[in-house]
């Protein structure tokens, strides 16, 4: 997983994270993803980092304070990363392919943080942070809807229900953390490209096509 400093949402007044903070965040992220948030204690995180609980509390007052910058950072960074990968002059099919492949690349680079964010998206007790994450989520979904709408207007896509089509795309991408194996034969981006190809081509055989 790439350095978490690229995606953390620590707040404007917090300053850059220290090496110790990054160590705590990285180890906590892995533990949260593999054991679940409730299955990890502050003592567990401290032990993985080789530090005392007092040292951990010096940087973070509780587990929520460790979790929050990861979840917010993933939600915001995913959208910004995908948006930056889409060329405005590209045709709708290429934009959809870029959306899906860059989403998969981002997931693969920040796999543990992505899993944690997906798992606890709705559980933050602080309403303001939850609203901010939902706003970024809505921007991301609007980006996808815009691509689909452009495809309909240009005649590239035949879609009866944009909302349903968007959920199909996002469902294919968001379910990957449940089954994707980084040791498998294909990187996540190659899988997303195959998903996109299936969506664009459709699954129905053309008349006269030979059966496999």
pLDDT tens across 78-110, in order?
999 999 999 999 999 999 999 999 999 999 988
Beta strand ranges found along 30-154 (DSSP E): none
Look at 123 and 180; give whichever has higher pLDDT.
180
Q: What is the CA radius of gyration of the chain?
A: 20
Domains in the chain with CATH codes: 4-201 (1.10.357.10)
pLDDT of residue 149: 96
The pTM for the full model equals: 0.83
Name which of 88-97, 115-124, 190-199 the model is least confident about: 115-124
Q: What is the mean pLDDT of the chain?
A: 86
pLDDT of residue 95: 97
Contacts 24+ apart (CB under 8 A), 46-55: 49/20, 49/23, 49/24, 51/20, 51/24, 55/20
pLDDT tens across 13-64, in order?
456 778 898 899 999 999 998 898 889 999 999 999 999 999 999 999 988 8
Q: How many CB atoms lie within 10 A of CB 202?
A: 9
């Amino acid at each position: 997983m790439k350095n978490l400093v690229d995606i953390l949402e620590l707040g404007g007044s917090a300053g850059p994270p220290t090496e110790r903070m990054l160590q705590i965040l990285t180890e906590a992220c892995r533990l949260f993803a593999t054991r679940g948030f409730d299955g990890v204690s502050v003592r567990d995180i401290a032990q993985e980092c080789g530090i005392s609980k007092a040292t951990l509390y010096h940087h973070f007052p509780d587990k929520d304070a460790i979790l929050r910058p990861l979840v917010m950072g993933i939600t915001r960074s995913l959208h910004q990363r995908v948006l930056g990968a889409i060329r405005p002059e590209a045709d709708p099919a290429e934009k959809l392919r870029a959306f899906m492949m860059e989403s998969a690349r981002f997931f693969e680079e920040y796999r543990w943080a992505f899993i944690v964010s997906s798992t606890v998206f709705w559980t933050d007790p602080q309403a303001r942070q939850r609203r901010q994450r939902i706003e970024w989520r809505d921007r991301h979904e609007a980006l996808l809807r815009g691509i689909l709408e452009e495809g309909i207007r240009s005649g590239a896509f035949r879609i009866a229900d944009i909302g349903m089509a968007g959920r199909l795309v996002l469902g294919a991408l968001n379910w990957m953390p449940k089954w994707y194996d980084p040791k498998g034969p294909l990187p996540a981006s190659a899988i997303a490209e195959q998903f996109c190809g299936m969506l664009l081509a459709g699954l129905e055989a053309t008349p006269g096509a030979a059966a496999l």
